[in-house]
Amino acid sequence: MTDITQYPGLQEFWTEIQDARMQTSNWDLTQTVTQETMQSVVDEIHKRAPCKQNRVHYGMHILDWSDTNLRNEIYEMAVDRDAPYPKYNSQTLANWLIVFTGRIPAPYRFDFSNVPDNVLDLGLTSIEIGLASHMLIYSAAAKGLQCGFCRCLDFGYEGWQTTILSSLGISVPEEVQLIVGVGVASDNVNQTYNPHTDTWVDAYKDQGQKWSVEPKPAQSEYITWHNV
C-alpha cells in the first residue's frame, strides 16, 4: 500500500481546487484566455481522461468568438422552453465554448461484443464525456479559469438547421451531448455580455449556494456500502 505521506500537499491542493471551482455563467470577456491555455487543457484531457480501450467515443468542438453568429445561435438554442419561466443558459457566452458530441471510432478488432461498429453508442459516449468534462473543469480551475455546464438544449430550435449542424459538421442535433463554457468569471452578478448582439443579457450567480435550492439526496439514498 502506498504511503500517502510520500505526496505531501496533494490532499490540501485537491481540497483547495475543489473549493475554487464553481458553476459559472457570468464572464469577463475583457480578459484574454489564450489558445495556448486551452490547448494545455485539451492536452491534459487527451493524455489522462479515461475512455474505453482508448478509442474515444466523443468529439470536442472548441469555439472562441471568431464566429459570433454561431456562438449566438448556440446561446439562443440553449434554453429549456418548456419550463414555466424559460431561462437562457449564459454558460454558453464564455470566453471559450466546448461542445461535446458523439463519435463513432474506427473499427476495433478486439471488440467481441457483436455490437455494430458503425453505430453511434450514445450511452458510452455519455460516460466518456462525463469523465472528460470532469477533468476539464479542474484542469481549468488549476489555471485560474471557471466553467459552466449546459445541458438545456432545444433540439427543435431552427438554428440547428441553418447554422449549428453544418458549422459543427454533425448530422442531427442529438449528437450534441454537453456544452461547457470556459473562461474568466465576472464580478457582475446579474448580467453577462453577448458580443454578437452587443447587449448585456440576464445571467445568474448561485456559486456555492446550489445546495440550498437544489439539495442532493442523502448519501444513504443512493450509496450502498458492501462491507465484509
Distances (CA, A) of 165 to 9, 13, 112, 147: 46, 40, 33, 24
The one-letter amino acid code at 61 reads: H
CATH architecture of 21-222: 3-Layer(aba) Sandwich (3.40)
- Residue 214 binned pLDDT confidence (cut-offs 50, 70, 90): confident
- Residue 106 binned pLDDT confidence (cut-offs 50, 70, 90): confident
The one-letter amino acid code at 106 reads: A
pLDDT of res. 149: 96
Confidence (pTM): 0.91
pLDDT of res. 206: 66
**Cβ atoms 217, 56 nearer than 8 A:** no
DSSP states of the chain as a string?
---GGGSTTHHHHHHHHHHH--B---B-TTS---HHHHHHHHHHHHHH---GGG---EEEEEE-SSSHHHHHHHHHH-B-TTSSS--B-GGGGSSEEEEEEE--PPP-TT--S---TTS--HHHHHHHHHHHHHHHHHHHHHTT-EEEEE----TT-THIIIIIHHHHT-SSGGGEEEEEEEEPBPS-SSEEEETTTTEEEE----TTTHHHHSPPPPHHHH------
For the chain, give every domain's residue range.
Answer: 21-222
pLDDT of res. 204: 80
Residue that has been written with the C-alpha cell 456555492 in this structure:
208
* Mean local confidence (pLDDT), 186-207: 90
User: Among residues of the chain, what percentage have pLDDT more than 90?
Assistant: 75
pLDDT of 28 over the 90 cut? yes
pLDDT of res. 3: 62
Residue that has been written with the C-alpha cell 489564450 in this structure:
34
pLDDT of res. 81: 86
Mean of all residue pLDDT scores within the chain: 92
Rounded Cα distance, 207 and 191, in Å: 14
pLDDT of 1 over the 60 cut? no
Query: What does the CA dihedral 53, 55, 57, 58 come to, rounded to 10 degrees?
Result: 130
User: How crowded is residue 97: how many other Cβ atoms within 10 Å of its Cβ?
Assistant: 25
* Mean local confidence (pLDDT), 203-213: 74
Q: Is the model more confident about 81 or about 37?
A: 37
**pLDDT 10s digits, 127-181:** 999 999 999 999 999 999 999 999 999 999 999 999 999 999 999 999 999 999 9
